[in-house]
A and B are shown apart, each in its own frame.
Chain A
Amino acid sequence: MDAVIENLPLYLEGFGTTVLLLVVSGLAALVIGTLVAAMRISPVASLRWFSTGYTELVRNTPLTLVLFFTAIVLPILGSRLDFVTAAFIGLSVYTSPFIAEALRSGINGVPVGQAEAARSVGFGFAQTVGLIVLPQAFRMTVPPLINVFIALTKNTSVAGAFFVVDLFATGRILANDRGDAVIPILLGVATFYLLITVPLGLLAARLERRWVVQR
């Protein structure tokens, strides 16, 4: 326990990096994922194929290999990135197809009858999508999206093993330093992760219960 309290400033520093990784790559993944999902349902065939290929490719690549991509291939292509930016790029690229899938399954979850009804009372495309489909899809989408962000929180630890000193890397360094107190040190790290993931999980469960059952 002493080992945790002594090193609390280091823990907090690592925790800050983890939160920074989560927020920045989460937002970036949201942007990329929305673009990919929009391409996936767009009437333009070539964009549809591209997004399908992108989703399949990235979803079946381990995160470690995506991070290696930012470390090995991007510099060849002429990037001059520092480690934190490389971690941001790797995490957001890896997360984006999952976000796209969550968005798409939300839109697919809205019964066709809803759109048909909207069309039959004379709504146009923008009205059908904006007033009828998206508000319902939103409810179906938010809990899975929260689950994607929970997964991202846990995945930041992989970036910590590669590039940046986040919570996981801090834990590893401390565990190496203090061989006598490995258990409390690692449990301390776990606690900080649970501080993010458990509230998010409870929120997702709550929203699921409140929103999905109603329809």
Chain B
Amino acid sequence: MTGSSVLFDAPGPVARRRSRISSIIGAVLILAGLGWIVVTLAAPKGNLPGYFDPSRWEPFTNPIVWERIFTVGVWGTLSAALTASAFALILGTVFSLLRSAQTAWIRIPTAVVLEFIRGMPVLLMMLFILLVLSTGTFWAVVAALSLYNGVLIGEALRAGLASLPRGQREAGLSLGMRPMQSKILVEFPQAFRQMLPIIIAQLVVLLKDTSLGYIVGYVELLRVTMNQLATFYGNYYLFSFYIVALVLYLIMNLSLSWVARWVSRRTASKTGSPTPNPDEENEELLKGIATANAERRQTGKGAI
């Protein structure tokens, strides 16, 4: 349904004109809304200047502020995200293999544990690890994020394994590989490649969720800008710090999202087969899960 032009007749001159006019009206309304926000922010508040006044942005002329934002804030966020990503990928691999195991007494307990982790808020997990295991905030954040995202990556990989043609496994087995060998050497690399865009999209979520570390007291970008620096300089600059934090998060997340899209295009052109698009993650996951379930019913056994 990508070509929505199927839905209606090719527009004639009148319809084209009407669409152009409504497009212009829409643009004017949107711009008016955005303009109102900017004007309200720029207007002086009582005897204080507006929010775009240079005096509100003074701290950013100080290089030490930037140094702190980058070496403590951005680094805190990125180091937690990188460590958690590495662990999440490892855990995801392990979970996907365990959950698609042939023996029921491995598969079923794993499924229960994974559902339990998936149903809990990450924040609660962080608090739990912090208070019960007293690991320190960095490891609490990393452990909770790796567990939670590991489960989701594991699900994606399992769907990828299930959506492979059966011939791949049969070919591996007929070459004399053991089931585990065929799974790791033949099926898994293909599943991983096919699901790579979804995995990267999940890593964007992980990167975003490092900001929950703010709540458990981990020092990352949000804590440095909205708490430490804002307290040091005072509420007068709170808005400016907020905007800087927002822009930095957007730069990090959008570039990672862009990588996901690039990878998806690249794998699609290489394999010549449609690969999942990170934007339509739900649909593709659904398809994979559906295939898995169909397969399960066919063979009467567990997922392959």
A, B in one complex: yes
A residues within 8 Å of B by Cβ?
Answer: 41, 43-47, 50, 56-57, 60-65, 68-69, 72-73, 76-78, 101-102, 104-112, 114-116, 119, 125, 128-129, 133, 137, 140, 143-144, 147, 150, 153-158, 161, 168, 171-172, 175, 182-183, 186, 189-190, 193-194, 197-198, 201, 205, 208-209, 212-213
Q: Is B212 an interface residue (CB 8 A)?
A: yes
Mark out the residues of chain B between 7 and 31 whose CB falls within 8 Å of any chain A CB in the assembled complex.
7-8, 11, 19, 22-24, 26-27, 30
A168 to B279, CA, bound (A): 31
A140 to chain B, nearest CB (A): 7
Q: Is B115 an interface residue (CB 8 A)?
A: yes
B69 to chain A, nearest CB (A): 15
Pick from B27, B212, B215: contact of A46, CB under 8 Å: B27
Assess A60 versus B257: contact at CB under 8 Å? Given A68-B226, A128-B7.
yes
Contact between A125 and B8 (Cβ–Cβ < 8 Å)?
yes
Return the chain A residue nearest B280 by Cβ. Answer: A105
Q: Is B289 an interface residue (CB 8 A)?
A: yes
A133 to B212, CA, bound (A): 40
Contact between B283 and A106 (Cβ–Cβ < 8 Å)?
yes
What would be 9 A-B contacts, judged by CB atoms less than 8 Å apart? A45-B19, A76-B239, A77-B41, A112-B3, A129-B7, A144-B282, A154-B120, A212-B287, A213-B290
Q: Is B108 an interface residue (CB 8 A)?
A: no
Which of B58-66, B85-93, B247-255, B262-270 has 4 or more CB atoms under 8 Å from chain A?
B247-255
Pick from A44, A61, A182, A198: contact of B23, CB under 8 Å: A44
Pick from A60, A125, A143, A186: contact of B204, CB under 8 Å: A60
A112 to B4, CA, bound (A): 9
A/B pair count, beta carbons within 8 Å: 183
A111 to B290, CA, bound (A): 17
Contacts of B11 in A (CB 8 A): 43
Contact between A201 and B286 (Cβ–Cβ < 8 Å)?
no
Assess A43 versus B19: contact at CB under 8 Å? Given A161-B215, A168-B121.
yes
A59 to chain B, nearest CB (A): 8
A64 to B214, CA, bound (A): 8
Contact between A208 and B289 (Cβ–Cβ < 8 Å)?
yes
A190 to B122, CA, bound (A): 11
Return the chain A residue nearest B255 by Cβ. Answer: A60
Q: Is B6 an interface residue (CB 8 A)?
A: yes
Contact between A110 and B1 (Cβ–Cβ < 8 Å)?
yes
Contacts of A56 in B (CB 8 A): 254, 257
Contacts of B27 in A (CB 8 A): 46
Pick from A107, A155, A201: contact of B118, CB under 8 Å: A201
Contact between A172 and B249 (Cβ–Cβ < 8 Å)?
no
Contacts of B115 in A (CB 8 A): 198, 201
Return the chain A residue nearest B125 by Cβ. Answer: A190
Return the chain A residue nearest B31 by Cβ. Answer: A46
Q: Is B128 an interface residue (CB 8 A)?
A: yes
Contact with A along B31-42 (1 / 0, CB 8 A): 000000100110
Contacts of A213 in B (CB 8 A): 290, 293-294
Contact between A64 and B257 (Cβ–Cβ < 8 Å)?
no
Q: Is B246 an interface residue (CB 8 A)?
A: yes
